[in-house]
Amino acid sequence: MAAPPSSLVAIYPGSFDPITNGHLDLIARGSRLVGRLIVAVLRNEDKQPLFSVEERIQMLEDAVKPWPNVEVGSFNGLLVDYAAAQGANLIFRGIRAISDYEHELQMALMNRRLRPEIETAFLMASELNSFISSRLVKQVASLGGDIAGMVPAAVESRLAKRLCKQ
């Protein structure tokens, strides 16, 4: 028997460097499917992020205020170990294109092998956001392009300030 949504705890992991409207769309939709959604920032300094983990957490906390069942955390190490420690039984992953699916499928199968009690659910990006990625947003912003509507206004402002300093 399936658990009712109120007892489902999900993790939506990512680097969120920075958060985009595509991420927010998945957070909004995912929050309706579970009782508790934890948006988890991966602590991976090897990626050389534009924003620190603390900055990304702050941007996320500001952005997820409309959803009372959404909280923000961070982790390093194995995602499934973090999920288990949080009592999560579900991992949400966003899919924009077929190229995302191949990578995400490999990760989901490995996670299942490591922790079979934790399921992975893929959420398709909306048509409006299917081309948006943090990497592409940073690239466009760094070249002076207009990223309005791709990220929250507060993130757009932070990006402009950060990229002007470089």
Q: Please, are residues 73 and 39 in contact by the beta-carbon 8 Å criterion?
A: yes
For residue 96, count CB atoms less than 10 angstroms from its CB and return exposed for 0-12, middle for 13-18, buried for 19 or more.
Answer: middle
Residue listed under structure tokens 């922790």:
115
Question: What angle, rounded to 10 degrees, do the helices at 153-165 and 53-63 form?
Answer: 160
Q: Which residues are known to be catalytic?
A: 23, 47, 96, 134
